[in-house]
Amino acid sequence: MEMRVIALPLLALAWAGCGQAAPRPSPTPGLTVDPSVSARVLVSGLGKPDDIAVAPGGTVYVSDESGGTLSAWSPATGQATLVARALSHPEGIVALDGALVVCEQGRNQLSRVDPSDGSVTLFRALSNSTGKLGVDGLAFDPTHPSIVVPDSPNGTLLRVSLDGAAATPIRVASASQPPFVRPTGAFVRSDGGILVADEDGGDVVLVRTDGTPQTLLTGLNLPDDVLGDDLGDVYVNTVGDGVLHRLRGTMHEELITGLEAPHGLAFDLDGNLLVTDLGGGGRLIKVFVR
């Protein structure tokens, strides 16, 4: 495939001080932000951004599920470039050394994208005989180097090797089988526990290393993605009502309301949150939680 790295000139940078230490900004207009955090739009005009991943150098990769593209946004320059196109409903992203692994929901497969030339090759085909939508999110597992796949149509979790050659089920000791209704997001904690956002189930579940599940939040309106940190905080966005949530111990907080349709979540290099949202023509929002 020929190189497809194309500047997107219509993107409007909203944070003039990116790449530099910045004071905690005022809440973004149109959003209600909890006083314990603050937020600012970094860039808008991204189309319909879905999932995101942050590479070791800080580049933010963004999938456009409806446009079938993958873009890269640089915090140093504030510019976005088109990395790859003609993907079939791209969603979750994992950044590996020199490559990206992207969920193609339309093909129910994982694809390898070379960001240097935009080439796309099959990484791992997955099974779906349910008639439901294909896979959605991905997570990197640093405790057992591999990719954790919420197997959305089948309601399970898979572990895929870093070469894509093997996919094995992750045991979840649940009374209901499959254990999830439609898992769409995952995050692997430093202790090896896996946080799972069960979109159609309305839950956030922690799957411990022995396979035991613990429901952390329930009754959510379409939770799409989930993150956790070493402080024990859990972050989840809900597409159905446009809310970014935080679970701190037993305290459930709505950090931001008024989002149009939040999807992707990732930590940046400073440990703050990045959130994609359909508002503003598709925007990337930084939430200062540190």
Look up residue 237 and give its two tokens. 């966005």
> Which sequence spans correspond to the domains of the chain?
6-14+27-288
What sign results for the dihedral spanned by CA atoms 229, 147, 113, 282?
Answer: negative
Q: Give 46-86 pLDDT, tens digit per residue.
A: 999 999 999 999 999 999 998 999 999 999 998 899 999 99
**Average pLDDT of the segment spanning 126-154:** 97
End-to-end CA distance of the chain: 41
Dmax over Cα atoms in the chain, in whole Å?
Answer: 52
Q: Work out the pLDDT band at 180, boundaries 50, 70, 90.
A: very high
- Residues 248 and 140: their CA atoms lie apart, in Å, by 23
pTM, 2 dp? 0.90
Please determine, for residue 1, whether its predicted confidence score (pLDDT) is greater than 50: no
In the chain, alpha helices (H): none
Please determine, for residue 176, whether its predicted confidence score (pLDDT) is greater than 70: yes
C-alpha 121: how far from its chain's center? 21
CA angle, corner 216, sides to 213 and 218, nearest 5? 105
Which CATH topology does 6-14+27-288 take? Neuraminidase (2.120.10)
